[in-house]
Amino acid sequence: MEQASEKPDVPMASNDVPRDSSPNGDRKRKRDDRDSGRGRGRGGRPLQHGSHQHKKRNMGRKEHFAQQLDRRGRNAEQQERNKQKAEDDENPKPALPSAFPSEEVDAEERRPKRKVAVMIGYSGTGYKGMQIDNKQKTIEGDLFNAFVKAGAISKANADDPKKSSLVRCARTDKGVHAAGNVISLKLIIEDEDIVQKINDNLSEQIRVWGIQRTTGSFSCYQACDSRWYEYLIPTHTFLPPHPSSHLGKKLEEFAAEKGDLEGYRERQAEVANFWPEVEEKHIKPILKTLDNSIRPLVQEALYNVDAVDAPPGEDLALDAAMETEQEQKSEPVADVEASAETAGTKEEFTAEPDQNTSTEPTDQEVKETVDAIEEQHPSVNVNSDTDGTTTLPDTDVQRHALEAAVKVLKKAYLDAKKAYRISPERQARVQAALSQYVGTHRFHNYTIQKKFSDRSAQRFIKSFKVEDKPIIINDTEWLSLKVHGQSFMMHQIRKMVGMAALTVRCGTHPDIFKVSFENNIVRIPKAPGLGLLLERPVFDSYNEKAAKQAGREKIDFSKYNKEIEEFKEREIYQRIFREEAHGNQFNSFFTHLDNYKDPIFLYLTSGGLDATKKLHNKSTQQGKWEDSEDENASGGEG
């Protein structure tokens, strides 16, 4: 008995277990005898469907609760890791003020709160979006802190925005700017200079334009009739893909195959000579100077080696949105002073030359291209040891010479793109594409996690127009696109711009827009967030009814036009122009698209949606094109 009690309470093979005359031993022996029947269940019966002989047995209560303790232990470890990660984050301090001591709260004079609409503008650079978040730097977080410091929110309410009934009109994503937005809440506004006090506690990136008394039941989200957004985009994004790029070749192939070659070339007529002229004037002279051992490798690298295979199950790099995370990590870029002058039909901004407005490709781009050459040509030895003075074997090429050749050719292509000036005919095609969105449509393909049957995907676009006069900044021409809609879903505007730009540059038949509104799956990449800003929300219904009846002033941004325009120029437009000049985000985005080998974008060709369907594994593509972790269905507009 004593010996049996020392043995572990674990089933063992029957031939290893000593025979025991105890009741426990009998039960154990019976169980072992039953288990010895290979492939058989309890009582020797065959195993049931869905079971197997090594299936985990039911646990007793003691063992079950012991495992639950282990699980809690694992959770505690994970919580500790999360806590450490939060402490190591870029913004370790809480975004909201801590609760004031009860003595200070009790001693504070009680003053009345009024329901108000706060009209604001901000540059989203470096912020994790509009909505308040106690763990991250947000626009509302900085605003709320400024309200508390200015005395517009009492110490009793300083630790929780809900106590002030804070509501936002439009929730913008990280990095997105707003010339005009509104939040509604209860504030103490007795001081005549309260707006100035609030602005004194804000960075230059955030401004309060004005504070208007509203009706007691006012909610800026519910009362907003519609919203205006602006998107700034370089005109070179409307150039066709290079004929040697993957997409450029497919456009010609499908046009010929479908008998649409004449129609395709008519849709590209005004830019048909762009690439041949660039090759003749800028590229061939450079190629002639290259060594024979380098020339074919570089030519292939520019458009063939750069082509990107689609790794199965991975999100597309370009759809990670070229978000402007680098804005939060890179060193501040010096301001570029610019003034507007009307020159003919175009507005031209002149700026002092700046080291960050270079069209040089980045060292990383050059390195990736050279690495790709090595991968594509394993027989070629890229030699890093020589300085060019030593004669190399025929199978060797000098790395420095190869990198220099890649760099100068990439710069030549980029310079040619930036020197492009859009023609009235091409600009008319851009307008025609944007006009396809006007009216009520199902925009399920222009957001995330929406199906055709989801009624919330139905949206009404009032207008979508290109400003007549392009502007020229640091030798790059830009177009301003302005959209007026009732409301927008997550990423909707960026995907609308992305689709319009793709169809124009690829000479796609306009019917593709209708296809995208119907019960089809069309994978549309979202254009870079860099160019997007909220222009202003509109409150016409509230102004004409509730405000007039209650004797309240209208919520109207027009009275602050001068200040807003100065702010847009200084804090929004110039940031956009500098960041594009510094990082070439638009060029990288569309070049990546042009050289993406997966057939997912072949709906842009004359083959239409069928060109992607017959080449796709639907389930694989569905998983691949889900947006990244930080993007969820509850995100901001645009």
* Reduced 3-state DSSP string for 509-578: CCHHHHHHHCCCCCCCCCCCHHHEEEEEEECHHHHHCHHHHHCCCCCCHHHHHHHHHHHHHHHHHHHHHH
Q: pLDDT at residue 342 above 50?
A: no
Whose tokens are 């790794």? That residue is 311
Domain ranges of the chain: 1-31, 102-223
**DSSP SS3 for 494:** helix
CA distance 221 to 68: 45
- Whole-angstrom Cα distance, residue 176 to residue 530? 7
pLDDT > 90? residue 243: yes
Both structure tokens of 206:
């955030």
pTM over 0.85: no
Containing 117, the helix (H) or strand (E) segment is strand 114-122
Which pair of tokens denotes residue 31?
A: 């169980």
Orientation angle between helical segments 399-418 and 363-376, nearest 10 degrees: 120
Count of Cβ atoms closer than 10 Å to residue 64 Cβ: 10
Greater pLDDT, 170 or 621 = 170
Amino acid at 144: F
Is residue 612 within 8 Å of residue 262, measured between CB atoms? no
The residues, any chain, with a CB within 8 Å of residue 486's CB and separated by 6 or more, are: 225, 226, 227, 459, 460, 461, 462
Element (H, E) at 232: strand 226-234
- Annotated catalytic residues are 173
* Cα-to-chain-centroid distance, residue 511: 27
Task: Report d(CA 241, CA 251) in Å as an integer.
Answer: 9
Express each pLDDT in 71-110 by its tens digit: 455 566 666 666 665 555 544 455 666 777 777 777 778 8
For residue 104, what are its two tokens? 């200070």
Residue with tokens 């999100």: 315
Q: Which of 278, 281, 299, 266 is nearest to 236 (CA)?
A: 278
Helix H or strand E segment including 66:
helix 61-87
**What number of other Cβ atoms are within 10 A of residue 453's Cβ?**
9
Q: Could you give the CA distance from residue 206 to residue 199 in angstroms, rounded to a whole number?
A: 8
Residue type, position 285, single letter: P
Arithmetic mean of pLDDT over the chain: 78
Cβ neighbors of 258 (< 8 A, separation 6 or more) are: 606, 607
User: Which residues pair with residue 343 across a beta bridge?
Assistant: 346
**What tens digit of pLDDT does each residue of 168-178 get?**
999 888 888 99
Q: Is 420 marked as binding a ligand?
A: no
pLDDT at 617 over 50: no
pLDDT tens digit sequence for 259-317? 999 999 999 999 999 999 999 999 999 988 887 777 878 777 676 544 444 443 344 44
Measured over the CA atoms of residue 350, residue 352, residue 356 and residue 362, the dihedral's sign is: positive
Rounded CA separation 462/485 (Å)? 5
d(CA 369, CA 413): 15
Task: Please tell me the distance from the alpha carbon of residue 74 to that of residue 296, in angstroms, as a whole number.
Answer: 57
Highest mean pLDDT among 3-12, 78-87, 522-531: 522-531
Give the whole-angstrom CA distance, residue 429 versus residue 510: 10
Fold of 102-223: Alpha-Beta Plaits (3.30.70)
pLDDT-based confidence at residue 12 (cuts at 50, 70, 90): very low
Q: How many residues does the chain have?
A: 638
